[in-house]
């Protein structure tokens, strides 16, 4: 891993990996997560990656990608705690595999930069046809969330836990906010992001393309940049009393989501023991929730625990028979208490560490996964999966007990059938 400073607020990261015949490049723009900016910023990557000044429509862009031997480009938006990240990426075949000495990686990178820095605009506004297309697709995604009750339930409990915070919103922004975005709004947001974002360009492949980092610096020199420092994420203060919400819908299977919070947020080394705890609590087949709540007592169809180190919460979500919801909740809490009391076998701890280790090793099998790992890690020097494995292997039973004692039940959200329906 080679991590260098390119310019003020701009870093370059080269992850050398010889397992692939392609080069993966991503440009990640990090800005503070703000409620009034979530939707418009989140829409940007999708509009920018669909066309640009030189290739103003799908036909022209796809023709260019075909000429580049099936290269791929794209953009997504996500949130990392109290930071919003806008990612633009490209995949292209290694130059040495292409006949006629075509500089494929260089051309793919040039196209990527064109999409980010030379968009298709007119009169300080993105073209309404481009905005309307991506706006419609985003609104369809938001409206469709309710069709996946598990995803819907998770989004609802986070909205409640982080009410009044930008983190509580969908990563796309709300339906109302997205529907109001105009071409001029998007242009103003694009200018602001380019000027203020902390930027990291990442390369995963056999070698670093020549002059890539210098090319990014040259593109950015045309903007009057004033990068905004990113503030650490703020953990949630637990409710004095557990907040309980129940929503009645046309469902036969109920959903139970329990939100726990802790005041510990930080980097991977600081929070490695939380990852092992959550895996032992509700991860693999050796976990408490799987072995007991699901298998032994048959109180749910699935029951999983997922932590978030950047905001300090832990969600336990499960699919339950409506008449088992209360019993399932009590048993989930019982299993947490058992961990607090030290009811953890060395065999289960070893299985959990081995499982987490295997999942980290597998990151090297995918350029996109490896790139995502680094782009989701902020700070001066992102930790590698191999370094994180060392932290995971050092976790003890005492560390797991300590982690269990740090979490407090904050919110319980249920989806139940409408009254009178089975």
Q: How far is CA 96 from CA 22, 93, 100, 105, 422, in A?
A: 10, 8, 10, 10, 63
Residue with structure tokens 């030379």?
118
Q: Output the pLDDT for position 420.
A: 63
Q: Sheet holding 313-320: strands in order across?
A: 243-249, 408-417, 254-261, 313-320, 302-308
H or E stretch covering 92 = strand 83-93
285-296 burial, b at 16+ Cβ within 10 Å, e below that, comes to ebbbbbebbbee
Strand, helix or coil for residue 87: strand
Ordered per-residue pLDDT tens for the chain, 422 residues: 788 999 999 999 999 999 999 999 999 999 999 999 999 999 999 999 999 999 999 899 999 999 999 999 999 999 999 999 999 999 999 988 887 767 899 999 999 999 999 999 999 999 999 999 999 999 999 999 999 999 999 999 999 999 999 999 999 999 999 999 999 999 999 999 999 999 999 999 999 998 999 999 999 998 999 999 999 999 998 899 999 999 999 999 999 999 999 999 888 888 999 999 999 999 999 999 999 999 999 999 999 999 999 999 999 999 999 999 999 999 999 999 999 999 999 999 999 999 999 999 999 999 999 999 999 998 778 899 999 999 999 999 999 999 999 999 999 999 999 876 55
pLDDT in tens, 385-411: 999 999 999 999 999 999 999 999 999
pLDDT in tens, 80-107: 999 999 999 999 999 888 877 678 999 9
Residues in the chain: 422
Do the Cβ atoms of 190 and 44 come closer than 8 Å?
yes
Q: What is the reported pTM?
A: 0.95
Strands, DSSP E only, in 128-270? 198-205, 243-249, 254-261
- Please state the φ and ψ torsions of residue 206, each to the nearest 5 degrees: -70, -35
């Amino acid at each position: 891993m080679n991590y260098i400073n390119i310019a003020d607020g701009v870093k370059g990261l080269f992850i050398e990996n010889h397992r692939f015949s392609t080069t993966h490049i991503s440009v990640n723009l990090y800005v503070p997560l703000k409620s009034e900016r979530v939707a418009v910023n989140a829409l940007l990557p999708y509009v920018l990656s669909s066309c640009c000044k030189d290739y103003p429509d799908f036909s022209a862009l796809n023709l260019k990608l075909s000429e580049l031997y099936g290269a791929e480009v794209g953009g997504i938006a996500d949130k990392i705690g109290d930071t919003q990240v806008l990612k633009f990426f490209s995949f292209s075949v290694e130059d040495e595999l292409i006949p006629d000495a075509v500089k494929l990686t260089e051309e793919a990178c040039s196209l990527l930069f064109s999409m980010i820095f030379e968009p298709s605009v007119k009169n300080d506004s993105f073209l309404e046809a481009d905005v309307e297309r991506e706006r419609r697709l985003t609104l369809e995604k938001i409206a469709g969330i309710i069709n996946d009750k598990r995803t819907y339930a998770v989004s609802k409990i986070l909205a409640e836990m982080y009410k009044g915070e930008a983190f509580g919103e969908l990563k796309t922004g709300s339906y109302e906010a997205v529907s109001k975005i105009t071409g001029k709004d998007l242009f103003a947001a694009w200018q602001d992001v380019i000027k203020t974002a902390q930027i990291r360009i990442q390369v995963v492949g056999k070698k670093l393309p020549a002059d890539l980092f210098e090319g990014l610096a040259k593109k950015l020199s045309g903007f009057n940049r004033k990068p905004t420092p990113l503030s650490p994420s703020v953990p949630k203060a637990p409710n004095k009393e557990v907040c309980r919400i129940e929503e009645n819908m046309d469902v036969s299977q109920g959903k139970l989501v329990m939100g726990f919070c802790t005041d510990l947020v930080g980097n991977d080394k600081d929070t490695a023991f939380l990852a092992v705890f959550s895996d032992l609590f509700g991860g693999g087949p050796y976990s408490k929730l799987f072995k007991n709540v699901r298998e032994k007592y048959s109180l749910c169809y699935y029951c999983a625990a997922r932590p978030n180190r950047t905001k300090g919460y832990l969600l336990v979500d499960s699919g339950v028979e409506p008449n088992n919801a209360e019993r399932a909740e009590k048993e989930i809490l019982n299993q947490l208490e058992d961990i607090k009391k030290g009811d953890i076998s060395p065999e289960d701890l070893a299985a959990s560490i081995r499982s987490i280790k295997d999942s980290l090793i597998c990151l090297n099998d995918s350029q996109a996964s490896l790139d995502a790992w680094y782009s989701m890690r902020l700070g001066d020097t992102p930790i590698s999966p191999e370094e994180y494995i060392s932290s995971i292997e050092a976790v003890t039973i005492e560390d797991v007990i300590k982690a269990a004692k740090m979490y407090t039940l904050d919110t319980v959200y249920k989806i139940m059938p409408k009254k009178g329906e089975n």
